[in-house]
Amino acid sequence: MAKQITRIVLTGGPAAGKTTLISRILKEFKSEDGWKVITIPETATELISGFGVGPFPNCMTMEEFQFFVVEDQLHKERLALKAAQLVPEEKVLILYDRAVMDDKAYVSDEQFALTLASFGTTEAELMGHYDAVLHLVTCAKGAEYAYNYGNAARYESIEDARIADDRTLRAWSPHPNHFVIDNSVDFEDKINRAVAQIYRILGQSAPEPGKKKYLVRMPDREELSRKYSVLPIEMMQTYLLSSDPEIERRIRQQSSLGDQLFFYTTKRVGEDGTRWVTERPISEKDYVSYLMEADLSLRSVRKLKYRFEYGGHRMELDIYPFAGDKAILFAYGSGDVALPPEIEVIREVTGDPYYKNRAFADRQSL
C-alpha cells in the first residue's frame, strides 16, 4: 500500500483555537489506528521566544524578520516531509501551525514577493506544498467575550486581531482547498466542525455531532477487544490549583502502544453558562512541572478508554479502577443510537454532574 501523506495548514487570526484543535487531532488520529501525526509549531513564535529575535526596536524591521521566518519554515517543512516518508506508519498527517503564506499578512505584497524570490520560490509554488488550509476565525470576530481566555499575555487588541485575521484570510484565499471555520455557534462546535472538515479532507466520514453518556455494567473486556479490534488507552487526569474560581485547570497523561502524550486544559464557564475549553499539548517536562501545582484536595483520575465503532457510530468505554462492576459509555451521534449488545445499560447519565471526572476526583467511586 502506498504511503498516504496529507499536509494541512491551520491558520487564522489570534485566539482562533488552533492549539486546541491540534490537541483534538492528536486524540482523533491515534497510533493504534495506524496514524502518525507530525506537528510543525508556529515559526515566528519559536524565533521570538527561543532566539529572542523579532521585529523589535533596535533588533530588525518586520521585513527583515520575514527572512528568518521563511527560511526556518521552509527548512522545517522539508524535514517534516522526510520524516513522514521514513516513519513506519502508512497514514501520516502533517499539521502546520501557520505556514509560509501567513507571513504575507505582515508585509506588503511587493516585499513578500521579494522575500520569496530570495529563496527561489513563488506564491503559486508554495501553495502546492499544502493539501488543504483550515482558517479558524479569531474569536475577536463573534466571540469577543472569550478573546483573552487562551492567553492572558496576548498583546493584540481586538481590532488588531480582526485586521490580522482579514489579512491572513486574504493571503491564503487562492488555495484551492481553503476552508473557513467561524464562530457562529460556540467554541466546542467550532472545533467539532474543524475536525469534521479534516475527516472530509482525508476522504473519511466525520463523526456525527451529539453525545450521550450511560452508566453501564462492566462488560467482558477481552471479548470487547477481540470483537472490535480495540486496545485501551491509559489515561490519568490531575486537577490543578487555580487562583480564579471561574477557571478549572487540569493536566492529562495518556499512553498507548508505548506512545505518551501530555495535555494542559483550562475550562471556564461564563455567567450565561457558556463553556470555553482550551487545550494544548505539552512536553513531559512541562507535565512534571505542572504536577507541582496539583490540587491535593482531589485525587488523580485514572482510567482505561476503549474507542471503537458500532453501527457506524463512535463508542467510548471508560473503565475506572475504583468502579468495581460498573463503567461509563459514551455514544456519539444524533437521534437514537443503537448500543452494542454486549453492554448492559443501567441508566443514561448525560449532563449529570455526579458522573463527571471532576466528581470522581473528589469521591473515587461510581
CA distances 275 to 95, 151, 335, Å, are 26, 16, 23
Q: What is the pLDDT of residues 84-95, one digit of tens each?
A: 999 999 999 999
Contact 260, 284 (CB under 8 A): yes
Alpha-carbon distance of 278 to 264, in angstroms, equals 8
What one-character DSSP code corresponds to residue 294?
A: B
What DSSP line would sit under 4-17, residue for residue? EEEEEEEEESSSSS
Q: Where are the domains of the chain?
A: 4-201, 211-363
Alpha-carbon distance of 269 to 109, in angstroms, equals 42
Out of 2.40.320.10, 3.20.20.70, 3.40.50.2000, 3.10.150.10, select the CATH number for domain 211-363.
Answer: 2.40.320.10
- Phi first, then psi: what are they for 59, rounded to 5°? -120, -75
Residue-level pLDDT at 150: 47
Residue-level pLDDT at 7: 97
Residue-level pLDDT at 1: 58
Residue-level pLDDT at 54: 81
CATH topology of domain 4-201: Rossmann fold (3.40.50)
Which parts of the chain sit beneath pLDDT 70?
Answer: 1, 148-155, 270-274
Q: What is the pLDDT of residues 3-40, one digit of tens each?
A: 899 999 999 998 899 999 999 999 899 887 889 999 99
Contact 86, 93 (CB under 8 A): no
Residue-level pLDDT at 364: 93
Alpha-carbon distance of 127 to 38, in angstroms, equals 19
Closest CA relative to residue 11, chosen from 170, 124, 200: 170
Give alpha helix (H) positions in the chain: 18-28, 43-46, 62-86, 109-118, 123-127, 158-172, 187-201, 221-228, 284-291, 357-363
What one-character DSSP code corresponds to residue 337?
A: -
Residue-level pLDDT at 236: 97
Residue-level pLDDT at 155: 64
First-to-last C-alpha distance (Å) of the chain = 45
4 beta partners? 91
Compute the C-alpha angle 267/212/333, nearest 5°: 105
pTM reported for the whole predicted model: 0.81
